[in-house]
Amino acid sequence: MELKNQTVILRPFLSSREPKNLRLAKIEKILVDLFMVTKKVNLMDMEECQKIIPNVILNYRINMAEMLDYAERRKIKEIMLEMCTG
């Protein structure tokens, strides 16, 4: 996929434990989606993405179980686990 000026990317909202009427993404979901989008669309260098995710996990309060649950649904649980444990 090539990004052009004014490109719009639409992604389906995957269900989670949050009420659907809230429509706010949690950091756990954002981290998994960041990896997926970087992998598919090349929004940033993959190495940069692989630095950002562990940095956020180490420096902020992250619900690891929720993040890994979401990663499992996106079929990248093992990759996220490896990124988190180094």
Dump pLDDT digits (tens) for 1-18: 566 777 776 666 665 555
d(CA 66, CA 68): 6
Residue-wise pLDDT for 39-78, tens only, equals 888 878 999 999 999 999 989 999 999 999 999 999 999 9
Whether the model pTM is above 0.85: no
The residue segments making up the domain with residue 51 are 27-85
**Residue 9, domain member (yes or no):** no
**Residue 3, domain member (yes or no):** no
**Residue 67, domain member (yes or no):** yes
Please give, one letter per residue, the 3-state secondary structure of 23-79: CCCCHHHHHHHHHHHHHHHCCCCHHHHHHHHHHHHHHCCCCHHHHHHHHHHCCCHHH
Number of domains present in the structure of the chain: 1
**Residue 20, domain member (yes or no):** no
**Residue 78, domain member (yes or no):** yes
